[in-house]
Amino acid sequence: MTARWSWGLLCSSLLACGRAEGPVAEGRVLARVAGQGIGEEEFRAFAAKQPEWAGLKEKGGAQVREYLQTLVDRALLLREARAQGLDRRPDLIASLDLAFTQKLAQEVDRREVQSEVSVSEEEVKECFTADHWDRKLKVAHIFVRSRERGEEVLAALGRGEPFAAVAERLSEDPPSAARGGEMPYYYGRANAAKEVREALFRLELGKVSGLVPIAKGYEIFKVLDVRQVEFDKVAGKVRQELIHERLAARGKARFAELAAQARLEPDPRGLGRLVALLLQGPQDGRFVLPAVDLELPLYRDRAGAVTLGQAIEQSGTIRQGRGLDDSLEVVEVLHAEVLAPRILAQRGRQLKLDADPQLVAWRQRREEDLLITTLRQQVVAAAVVSEEEARSYYQANQERYRNPQSTEVVEVLLSSEEEAREALAQIEAERPRLGPLVEVLSAAASALPDRIAAGKRLDQVVSLPVGAGEPAALPWLRRKATQPRARAELLDDLARAQSPAVLAEEYLFRHLAAERSQRVDSGKLEGHYRLHWFEEARFGNLVEQAMGAPIGAVLGPVPVDSLYAIAVVIGRQGAQVRPFEEVRRPLRARLQEERRNEVFARWLEELRRTRKGEVEYLEEQIEALGKVLSQEPPPAAGGKG
């Protein structure tokens, strides 16, 4: 192989060059490894999967020989793996059996579940109206953790107290409570959690729901505004959800039928042990159990028992041991990740799918991939990069770990261009009234770096005169100045701000962001974001405008998806080298993978040398194929090659 092939690419290619699923005609034989031929069709199937192959201008004998080497290497590796007895290792056999069980289950699901589910255009339109996909709602909510607190909320609303006032007083969701319960976005059905959809989207404008149970407590909703949604905008989502629901229902019904036929029965003792184990949680990231516990049956059917050890091995969710705090959740996970593949695979064997040529070829390919992966793991096991080596590399290559330039802004994301212009006009009108606040901030800044003295001068924010014409941000700042944590943040703001005047204007934007911004995390962050060039997908043209604007510049309205942003630029940072601790793990992992690739490459070269006598290249056939390929037209655009 030429130098343009990295050893990492070679390793991935080795796992991608197995025979095509199903029998193929060999055509001309290009090479033999220990007498086993590598034919033209196998070569073409492999080359077609390589992006570089399609782009080659020359596809003569030299190019065929280069790509053929990977197929030869794969054959050599498989012979070596089998010579070492890796194909007889119990863990590899168990892994292969599990993978084939899952493949059989997928095939049965495709044939007996997916093939029986369809959705017509009329059904999509009916669902669009009946399930209120035609509405987007602006809502306020009150979240409570207990039913008793929820009843208190309903009683207060029943007495005629305004929803916003009750939310501020009783809601246990602080960010929305501060806004009178108002949520930032207009929510469509697809954006709402399933447990609240039915209650929420049947509410009329201005109406209040009852207690709606959710995972962590209860919610009460009020609809503040309604927008109509065009059918074409959400038809794809409606269809997708209908199909998903029908697949789930059909899959559940088919599983129940097959489970009854298999006489699947739970074992209370084993399930009880598993639930207790999950409540206890894994120790040091894994479950350590005596063999007698691992053999406990969780379920039994005609084929035998599903043991606790098998459940831990086959279910990633159970293996992690988190988020399962009741027996119903455990049973659902077992059904989805352990029992359904088992029962569906049994059905597949009844249908003799395990003898289907394509599935047999898939199993062979999977076994070969496992053998090569396991062999490589053995070869590179000792290739370890130490902490000292990683640190030394970092010191010598720090320029590789320099952050890109960033610009800090306070952004307010609003529903319409008109609303964004109104917000800018409000800020412009309030600027002349910032004088008293700027004086207080200037006095506090002059006392820095003595934070105690600066804090005492900051107390004057609370005593600033209250008036009808004061900036809307001032009451918000007064509250912050009386809270120890927020007060400390105000002192941090003073320390990094360009000037007290710029900081005062920044507070106009931050207050507006906390109260009205449509971006999900804006309430918590008060609209403060650090923009990089690579974040245009999230912030749109605001990134380009902010990068080129001076500090203090006001931007907007800027279209961002279907919303509009206004912002003020508050800071800029040049490229900085990231500290070693921040890059240590990915750096060490990359160096280790590079070392493993080098070790494997040297080992593979030695394997080629020692097994050279087993390899025969049929040069005439290679050159003949090269001539044919050089005369063939390139694949059509978008084709598979």
Distance CA 100, CA 358 (A): 12
Q: Tell me: the pLDDT tens digits for 7-42?
A: 444 555 566 565 544 443 347 899 999 999 999 999
Tell the burial category of 222 from Cβ atoms under 10 Å away from its Cβ (0-12, 13-18, 19+): buried
At 197, is the pLDDT very low, low, confident or very high (cuts 50, 70, 90)?
confident
User: What is the span of the domain harbouring residue 413?
Assistant: 406-573
Distance CA 471, CA 473 (A): 5
DSSP string, 273-291: HHHHHHHH--BTTB----H
Quick one: 338 and 196 in the same domain?
no
Please report whether residue 640 resides in a domain: no
Please report whether residue 252 resides in a domain: no
Lowest model confidence (mean pLDDT) among 305-309, 570-574, 613-617 = 570-574
Quick one: 483 and 595 in the same domain?
no
Quick one: 117 and 75 in the same domain?
no
pLDDT at 379: 96
CATH no. for residue 197? 3.10.50.40
More confident residue, 235 or 327: 235
Lowest model confidence (mean pLDDT) among 104-108, 268-272, 323-327, 512-516 = 323-327
Quick one: 110 and 36 in the same domain?
no
For residue 638, report the phi and psi dihedrals to the nearest 5 degrees: 85, -5
- The SS3 assignment for 353 reads helix
Quick one: 78 and 181 in the same domain?
no
CB within 8 Å of 374: residues ≥ 6 apart = 81, 86, 89, 92
Rounded average pLDDT over 186-196: 83
How many Cβ atoms sit within 10 Å of the Cβ of residue 628? 14
Distance CA 45, CA 19 (A): 7
Please report whether residue 481 resides in a domain: yes
Distance CA 314, CA 318 (A): 8
Please report whether residue 531 resides in a domain: yes
pLDDT at 35: 93
Quick one: 423 and 529 in the same domain?
yes
Contact 221, 139 (CB under 8 A): yes
Quick one: 315 and 410 in the same domain?
no
Quick one: 418 and 551 in the same domain?
yes
Q: What is the DSSP letter of 425?
A: H
Find residue 33's DSSP bridge partners: 36, 615
pLDDT at 635: 60
At 409, is the pLDDT very low, low, confident or very high (cuts 50, 70, 90)?
very high
Lowest model confidence (mean pLDDT) among 14-18, 92-96, 168-172, 219-223 = 14-18
Find residue 36's DSSP bridge partners: 33
Quick one: 192 and 315 in the same domain?
no
CA 337 to mean position of chain CA atoms? 20
pTM above 0.75, yes or no: no
Query: Average pLDDT over the chain, rounded to whole?
Result: 87
Quick one: 118 and 177 in the same domain?
no
Please report whether residue 639 resides in a domain: no
| Whether pLDDT at 209 is above 80 | yes
Quick one: 351 and 369 in the same domain?
yes
Lowest model confidence (mean pLDDT) among 271-275, 436-440, 485-489 = 485-489
- Beta strand spans in 351-508 (E): 406-414
Q: Which of 367, 237, 246, 345 is nearest to 301 (CA)?
A: 345
Find residue 253's DSSP bridge partners: none
The number of domains in the chain is 5
End residue of a domain, out of 178, 202, 228: 228
Distance CA 448, CA 198 (A): 55
Please report whether residue 16 resides in a domain: yes
Q: What is the DSSP letter of 402?
A: B
Rounded average pLDDT over 261-273: 93
Quick one: 597 and 527 in the same domain?
no
| Omega within 30 of 0 (cis) for the link into 184 | no
Please report whether residue 256 resides in a domain: no
